[in-house]
Amino acid sequence: MFDSHIIVVDLGFGDAGKGATVDWLCSADAGLDVAAVVRFNGGAQAAHNVIAQGRHHMFAQFGSGTFAGVPTLLSRHMLVEPIALAGESRQLAALGVPDPLSLLRIDGRALLTTPIHIAANRAREDARGSSRHGSCGRGIGETAAHALDHDAPTVADCLRPKVLRDKLRALAAHYGSLVAPSAHGYEPIDDLVDMYREFAAAVAIVGGDQLARFARRGRLVFEGAQGVLLDEWRGFHPHTTWSTVEPRNAHALLAEIGATAAVLGVTRTYLTRHGAGPFPTEDHAVDVPEPHNTTGRYQGAFRLGHLDLLLLRYAITVAGGIDGLSVTHLDAPGTRYAATKYRTDNGTVDHLEPGTWQDLDHQQRLTDLLTTAHPVLTEMPDDVIPWLAQALDTPVVLTANGPTRAHRTAIEACAAAA
């Protein structure tokens, strides 16, 4: 599968190791001649940990191939937050990346996440109290929701100060009743316009032909954010993200240039979840060190549990199938079990039935099922790779027994039938 363009997706609730996987794919160790990393969903809420050449960074909007000198294209499906992007650029420069912004291309059609969206997001989550959805508090949902029915700010508007000012004023008026009584605020509109004007002068804002230009130079690696189980239409409503996480948008971008890609699904050897929502195999006895994952004010606690074959098979199905698996955290202690069935009030369940796309009633029913399900666990064998390949009917093509490039091993063929 490494002979084509590659789409990297997380098969869980996020934090499976997408960033480190993309870093390896872009490195000289892989030898794949990657021309660009393309971000196809999410925004500044991403936290893709990469440790390479003695440097550590949590990639948010820059692609995780940056340490390898690979450019990033933020596609039109990204939600771009310029203030956070400028901060990330400074962090990368401090780590020795020369002129990070020169590695960046941003599609002008991408939506702009502003401090107004962020204030509204946090005010809304505060108002939910104990019924919080598990938001990151970074304005992602508000950006996507507002754009459904309004002429929302885009990255290209940063080149048109008058247009941007009018849109920001309308945005502030829209959220006025929500933000005003809250503890959250934002800078004056004119200050935001000036800041975005500086941003537009510092980055390359491009059109829809940029993807084809990169593709003519070499391989594309599409880096997803979050996990398929959090997908806006396929995740377990309402504890989802306002983002299409499964690779639909990446395939659509490739189709526009007459290309296809292999899909690489990433999973840990156990399951994690950040914040609220169903998690059938959660087990407080699972004790795995997580130096880069902590409790977030809006997300909530970082939760751990056993591998769940039902959820993995569900994620693979709703992602349209995958061509290979990247299995990470093989060095992690703490759990050797996997769920193969659930016990429920209505009997034993051995699979989750996907509904039709955009059927939130079906997703709510799945949430209700998972919330009360009791997992039936089986002990995994010591040699977990062929077992997992067979259980998921998918070849394992990459493994990781640690956080760096040196800990990754490409597998020529670990067939599902092994």
Q: Which residues are catalytic?
A: 15, 48
State how far the Cα of 356 lies from the Cα of 358, in Å rounded to an integer. 6
Residue linked to tokens 């690979």:
70
Q: Answer whether 75's CB lies under 8 Å from 39's CB.
A: yes
Q: Where are the beta strands (DSSP E) in 256-406?
A: 261-268, 271-274, 302-305, 307-308, 324-328, 337-344, 347-349, 374-379, 396-400
State how far the Cα of 187 lies from the Cα of 189, in Å rounded to an integer. 6
Taken in order 360, 363, 369, 370, the sign of the CA dihedral is negative
Angle at 78 between CA 72 and CA 84, to 5 degrees: 75
State how far the Cα of 384 lies from the Cα of 14, in Å rounded to an integer. 21
298 φ/ψ angles, rounded to the nearest 5 degrees: -100, -35
Q: At what angle do helices 161-179 and 189-202 cross, to 10 degrees?
A: 130
